[in-house]
Amino acid sequence: MLCRGLPRQLSCARVLLCRQSTSTDGVIATGADKSQIVNENELRPLYMDFQATTPMDPRVLDAMLPYEVNYYGNPHSRTHAYGWESEKAVEKARGQVADLIGADPREVIFTSGATESNNISIKGIARFYKSKKKHVITTQTEHKCVLDSCRALEAEGFEVTYLPVHKNGLIDLKVLEDAFRPDTSLVSVMTVNNEIGVKQPVKDIGHICKSRNVFFHTDAAQAVGKIHLDVNDLKIDLMSISGHKIYGPKGVGAVFVRRRPRVRVEPLQSGGGQERGLRSGTVPTALVVGLGAACEIAKQEMESDHKRIKMLSERLVQKIMSEIPDVVMNGDPEQRYSGCINLSFAYVEGESLLMALKDVALSSGSACTSASLEPSYVLRAIGADEDLAHSSIRFGIGRFTTEEEVDYTVKKCVQHVRRLREMSPLWEMVQEGIDLKSIKWTQH
Partner 1 sequence: MAASRVQVLSLYKAMLNASQKFPSYNYRTYAIRKVRDAFREKKHVKDPKTIEDLVDKARENLAIIQRQVGLF
DSSP, res 171:
B
Report the alpha-carbon distance of residue 43 to residue 38 in Å, rounded. 10
Report the alpha-carbon distance of residue 313 to residue 315 in Å, rounded. 5
Instruction: Give the shortest CB-33-to-partner 1 separation in angstroms.
Output: 11
Say whether residue 401 binds partner 1 (CB under 8 A): yes
Say whether residue 429 binds partner 1 (CB under 8 A): no
Q: Select the residue interacting with partner 1 from 9, 77, 280, 402 (CB under 8 A).
A: 402
Say whether residue 302 binds partner 1 (CB under 8 A): no
Q: Which stretch binds partner 1 (CB under 8 A): 1-9, 19-27, 226-234, 411-419?
A: 19-27
Total Cβ atoms within 10 A of residue 285 = 25
318 by Cβ neighbours in 10 Å (0-12 / 13-18 / 19+) ranks as exposed
- When the beta carbons of 19 and 181 are compared against partner 1, the nearer one is 19
Residue positions counted in the chain: 444
Identify the three-state secondary structure at position 217: strand
Q: What is the DSSP string of 88-139?
A: HHHHHHHHHHHHHHT--GGGEEEESSHHHHHHHHHHHHHHHTTTT--EEEEE
Instruction: Give the shortest CB-343-to-partner 1 separation in angstroms.
Output: 23
113 by Cβ neighbours in 10 Å (0-12 / 13-18 / 19+) ranks as buried
Peptide bond into 261 cis (omega under 30): yes
Instruction: Give the shortest CB-55-to-partner 1 separation in angstroms.
Output: 7
- When the beta carbons of 58 and 157 are compared against partner 1, the nearer one is 58
CB 286 within 8 Å of CB 67: yes
- When the beta carbons of 37 and 373 are compared against partner 1, the nearer one is 37
Identify the three-state secondary structure at position 60: helix
- When the beta carbons of 304 and 318 are compared against partner 1, the nearer one is 304
Instruction: Give the shortest CB-35-to-partner 1 separation in angstroms.
Output: 12
Say whether residue 424 binds partner 1 (CB under 8 A): no
Q: Select the residue interacting with partner 1 from 1, 3, 4, 26 (CB under 8 A).
A: 26
Say whether residue 431 binds partner 1 (CB under 8 A): no
Residues 6+ apart with CB under 8 A from 401: 47, 48, 50, 309, 312
Instruction: Give the shortest CB-222-to-partner 1 separation in angstroms.
Output: 20
Report the alpha-carbon distance of residue 89 to residue 211 in Å, rounded. 38
Report the alpha-carbon distance of residue 122 to residue 238 in Å, rounded. 9
Say whether residue 399 binds partner 1 (CB under 8 A): yes
Q: Select the residue interacting with partner 1 from 12, 13, 47, 194 (CB under 8 A).
A: 47
Say whether residue 9 binds partner 1 (CB under 8 A): no
Report the alpha-carbon distance of residue 197 to residue 310 in Å, rounded. 13
Active-site hit among 18, 209, 340, 368: 368
Identify the three-state secondary structure at position 344: strand
3-class SS shares of the chain: helix, strand, coil, % to 5: 45, 15, 40
Say whether residue 400 binds partner 1 (CB under 8 A): yes
Say whether residue 395 binds partner 1 (CB under 8 A): no
- When the beta carbons of 86 and 401 are compared against partner 1, the nearer one is 401
Q: Which residue, 43, 5, 22, 40, is CA-closest to 412?
A: 5
DSSP, res 346:
T
- When the beta carbons of 38 and 179 are compared against partner 1, the nearer one is 38
Q: Select the residue interacting with partner 1 from 55, 102, 105, 251 (CB under 8 A).
A: 55
| 145 given a catalytic annotation | no
Residue count, binding to partner 1 (CB under 8 A): 21
Instruction: Give the shortest CB-394-to-partner 1 separation in angstroms.
Output: 19
* Per-residue binding letters, 304-323, with partner 1 (x by CB under 8 A): x-------------------
DSSP, res 326:
S
142 forms bridges with which residues in the sheet? none
Say whether residue 127 binds partner 1 (CB under 8 A): no
Q: Select the residue interacting with partner 1 from 9, 24, 352, 424 (CB under 8 A).
A: 24
Task: Give the footprint of partner 1 on this chain (CB under 8 A).
Answer: 16, 19-20, 23-24, 26-27, 34, 37-38, 47, 55, 58-59, 61-62, 304, 399-402
- Residue numbers annotated as active site: 368
